[in-house]
Amino acid sequence: MQVFIATIAGQEAILREDESFHCTRVLRKKAGDKIVVINGRGFMSQAILTHLHDKKCVAVLDGSPLAGHHRHYFIHLCIAPTKHADRTEWMLEKCIELGLDAISFFTSGNSERVHLKHERMVKIAESAVKQSLQSTVPSISELVKFGDLLRLDGYDEKYIAHCNGGDKVDLKSLPFTDKRTIILIGPEGDFTPEEIPAAKAAGFKSLSLGENRLRTETAGLMVCAAAALR
Amino acid sequence: MQVFIATIAGQEAILREDESFHCTRVLRKKAGDKIVVINGRGFMSQAILTHLHDKKCVAVLDGSPLAGHHRHYFIHLCIAPTKHADRTEWMLEKCIELGLDAISFFTSGNSERVHLKHERMVKIAESAVKQSLQSTVPSISELVKFGDLLRLDGYDEKYIAHCNGGDKVDLKSLPFTDKRTIILIGPEGDFTPEEIPAAKAAGFKSLSLGENRLRTETAGLMVCAAAALR
């Protein structure tokens, strides 16, 4: 089942330019071939290709929309990009496969990486959404500052995962279901001693991810897996 | 906290040759430096370096053994190597960080990759164990055949994760705790129509990993995360 991102207008799906190129030049699809189209915002349908052009393919929707997988939780992961970009990219792909609604990349006091190829992240995200047969592309922020995250609101559950001591909520005990949850994960050197109390003052609770020392990107994966498995 | 693999003899830890090289030439440790030693089979202790040589470093154990993280489950993951080796390697690292006791790589009817660099896998595993502050290196098999897995015994729970229809047990409902669990995950093209009934005849139950279509390596991660989060 091959999935393409398209604009839906009535019964017609117009594949995005890059998707049209992929459809015609790489996959060499023909008129009459069945595909699946998504709009990236929750719509998914089977469709039949009617018009092929490497900049604009058109397909006609075939029957009623497919029931995309509806998640019973909303998870916003805020994570510092790792020193090596490939670790962040791999994590993004996996988190989306497991289930993720929004991701914010941020820099904090101990960040070693302060640049992010946002466009590349969006490409990876779209590809993972299609691969895993989902219909919604998560929101992916440009690189923001740690302080900006503390001003976000509209969440039921707010956590900061760090390696310092003190009372912590166990990841296993988070409710997730029917909640909007935001979780902050720091860079390789963890959050600074000033950042943790700042987050607490903004209503974030300390979160424990278990006994093993996890790399930044593994911590991100673990959080998405925990939500998906609740 | 830097961790090294060593042979323990009484109160002395003799670092393995490659670890000795890393200790002296890369990390440039000196006599008197504190390190952590593991034997890869559950023993962990702080130690003080006394003798440095790039082929043989010696350290003296410092106090009582550290209480390594004891898992309350045993998970044996059997997985077909992915077409691209880097995906398998990344998965191995992540599964070990999350918690894994044994991994078997196998070939089956739809396998695209039929070679495995076993020595490289062991290196990745050891590195992940040290990174995540664990003391036991999981058992890693050479590449075996699918049929060999069906003859393994000594498990309380046996599952095969596949994309075919039929009744399935949900990953979320697996007990894990105090159980020896073995889970089979197929290659990119899934198991063949003959392999699934063969596994069932050998006592494996069908397992569902959820609604999203997961890549092989993501399925492996999901299983280890589920065990760690139980």
ipTM summary value? 0.91
Instruction: Give residue-wise pLDDT tens across range B35-90.
Output: 999 999 999 999 999 999 999 999 999 988 887 667 899 999 999 999 999 999 99
Domains and CATH numbers, chain A: 3-61 (2.40.240.20), 74-229 (3.40.1280.10)
Instruction: Give residue-wise pLDDT tens across range B96-141.
Output: 999 999 999 999 999 988 889 999 999 999 999 999 999 999 999 9
> B151 to chain A, minimum CA–CA distance in Å?
30
8 Å CB contact of A218 and B134: no
8 Å CB contact of A171 and B94: no
Instruction: Give the per-residue pLDDT at A113.
Output: 86
Of all residues in chain A, the one with the smallest CA distance to B92 is A218
Cβ neighbours, 10 Å, residue B226: 24
Q: Is the pLDDT of residue B215 over 70?
A: yes
Q: How far is it, in rounded angstroms, from Cα B59 to Cα B39?
A: 13
Instruction: Give the per-residue pLDDT at A63.
Output: 82
Instruction: Give residue-wise pLDDT tens across range A131-152.
Output: 999 999 999 999 999 999 999 9
Residues 6+ apart with CB under 8 A from A187: A80, A81, A82, A83, A108, A110, A111, A112, A113, A216
Report the run of H or E that residue B182 belongs to, with start and end.
Answer: strand B180-185
A213 vs B131, B225, B230: nearest CB:
B131
Instruction: Give the per-residue pLDDT at A130.
Output: 95
> Between the CA of residue B25 and those of A218, B31, B60, B83, what are the distances in Å?
29, 14, 20, 36
State residue A215 phi and psi, 5-degree precision: -65, 160
In the Cβ-directed half-sphere of B9, how many Cα atoms lie within 13 Å? 5
Radius of gyration of chain B, Cα coordinates, nearest whole angstrom = 20
B212 vs A97, A218, A226: nearest CB:
A97
Q: Is the pLDDT of residue A71 over 90?
A: no
Instruction: Give the per-residue pLDDT at A80.
Output: 96
Q: Are B164 and B196 in contact (CB under 8 A)?
A: yes
State residue B47 phi and psi, 5-degree precision: -155, 160
Chain A environment of B215 (Cβ under 8 Å): 97, 131-132
Return the C-alpha torsion angle A47, A49, A50, A55, nearest 10.
Answer: 120
Mean pLDDT for B173-200 is 96
**B173 at interface of A, judged by CB pairs closer than 8 A:** no
Chain A environment of B230 (Cβ under 8 Å): 172
Instruction: Give the per-residue pLDDT at B69.
Output: 67
Report residue B182's pLDDT band, with 50, 70 and 90 as the boundaries.
very high
Instruction: Give the per-residue pLDDT at A84.
Output: 93
A97 vs B69, B171, B215: nearest CB:
B215
Chain A environment of B94 (Cβ under 8 Å): 218, 221
B132 vs A133, A214, A229: nearest CB:
A214
Q: Is the pLDDT of residue A68 over 70?
A: no
Q: Are A2 and A35 in contact (CB under 8 A)?
A: yes
> A130 to chain B, minimum CA–CA distance in Å?
9
Segments in chain A forming alpha helices (H):
17-21, 85-98, 118-131, 146-150, 195-201, 216-229
Report residue A128's pLDDT band, with 50, 70 and 90 as the boundaries.
very high
> Between the CA of residue A116 and those of A122, A143, A145, B185, what are the distances in Å?
11, 6, 12, 34
Instruction: Give the per-residue pLDDT at A46.
Output: 95
DSSP bridge partners of B145: B107
Q: Is the pLDDT of residue A225 over 90?
A: yes
Cβ neighbours, 10 Å, residue A50: 14
Q: What is the mean pLDDT of chain A?
A: 95
**Probe site for chain B from A92, A213, A215 (most B CB atoms < 10 A):** A213
